A = this chain, B = another copy of it.
Amino acid sequence: MAKTLPRSPLAPAAFPALPEIGGLRFASTAAGVRYQGRTDVMLAVMDPGTSVAGVFTRSATCSAPVLDCQAKLGSNTEQGAAILVNSGNSNAFTGHYGQTSVAEITAAVANKTGLPQDRVFTASTGVIGEPLPHDRILSKLDELNGTLSASAMKDAAEAIMTTDTFPKGSAATVDIDGTPVQIAGIAKGSGMIAPDMATMLVYIFTDAVYDQGRLQALLSAENDTSFNCITVDSDTSTSDSLMLCATGASGVDATDHPAFTEALRGVMLDLAHQVVRDGEGATKFVEIQITGAASDADAKIHGLAIANSPLVKTAIAGEDPNWGRVVMAIGKSGAKADRDLLSISFGDVLVAEKGWVAPSYKEELGAAEMRKEEITLKVDLGLGDGTATIWTCDLTHQYITINADYRS
């Protein structure tokens, strides 16, 4: 299915070169969970001493793997760790059978890798409510465990794709006290993407030494302004997982180091933006900058109301500088707004202020901004110091085409 969709016009030119991370190896294979003719399972195995942090969907109907991961975080931290991910089936809303699948997979991976079972994390992504044929995965564990390689991260990124049109990766190198520390991550996601939780499947690795508790705090904080600030369609997956693993192989302790935080943030934003760029049917990448709100929380509410409005998203698809719909979205958001204090710009073109169209505005200026592939909408509420930046894409015919018949 994923392979038949054309590559997003907003995709990066190429998959980035990802560094090898000491203490980390990958393998992937085609287990035929649902898709045919492509890889659909990846295994990552990390050496002893790895710190593992994770944030997961806040869905009240989250998947069996998410429940299992949440229960395991923070246990046996002196041990190695493994992550097994399949695409094609989300093992969500699969009742007790779903928990059995997770238990069987994690027990088998623990057995093959010699890790304790509570250090084996899994994720499943794809259709909801159908039993996961976990025997197909189990039958591939020998092959996966026998082909682990430090250089196979791109293959892993491809194995976890569903309706994605390109694999997503990002990397950074930080110099900490004269020693280079590596960060590299992969992600999948293109629909059922909304914030207010850890969105999609994202796995980020570093060879830094990092205190387990601080790693969790770091991930939660940075998630709040990266993955939690993107939206494709306002729909929140039952399976979303973001994990950050620090193997410590570099021997450099990066705990709370500002340069590491900054580099990690760069990788997280890059992956978050790539998810938006692969939004189902997307033809425009949109950054919404909210300033002057009564609070940061209000700014985020306004930004998401704009980003999730079908009428704003279809106007962007149609390259229509229909700023009235931006006003509508602000008005409906529920956060504080004063019609006569807010101002709206498309890129650097001031469109509206003081409760009406700006005297300097000309339709052709707004139309030129909307013809760009990357669009910036700026809204200043004129009320306070609250700010937020939200990223989204447009809503096109292709989104309907993809989603009106996903399961067939």
Contact = CB atoms under 8 A, between A and B. Distances in A.
Contact of A61 (B97, B308, B328): B328
A95 interface: yes
A310 B128 contact: no
Contacts of A329: 235
B404 A400 contact: no
Main secondary structure on A side of the interface with B:
loop
A59 B403 CA distance: 31
A95 B359 CA distance: 12
A311 interface: yes
A352 interface: yes
Interface string A299-340: 000000000111100110110101111011111110011111
A2 B194 CA distance: 33
A162 to B, nearest CB: 13
A395 B313 CA distance: 14
A352 to B, nearest CB: 7
A7 interface: no
Interface in A58-100: 59-62, 90, 92-98
B129 A356 contact: yes
A338 B95 CA distance: 12
Interface string A363-407: 000000000000000000000000000000001110111011111
A164 interface: no
Contact of A328 (B192, B323, B327): B192
Contacts of A130: 324, 357
A130 B329 CA distance: 17
B60 A339 contact: yes
Nearest to A354: B95
A349 B128 CA distance: 19
Nearest to A337: B60
Interface string A348-363: 0000101111000000
Interface residues on A, range: 35 or more
A300 to B, nearest CB: 15
A39 interface: no
A30 interface: no
Interface string A116-130: 000000000001111
Contact of A59 (B97, B331, B354, B401): B331
A191 interface: yes
A399 B327 contact: no
A4 interface: no
A233 B311 contact: yes
Give 5 closest A-B pairs by Cβ, nearest first. A128-B324, A95-B356, A318-B404, A61-B331, A59-B331
13 contacts: A61-B328, A95-B355, A96-B355, A128-B322, A234-B234, A235-B309, A236-B332, A314-B400, A314-B404, A318-B403, A396-B400, A397-B401, A400-B400
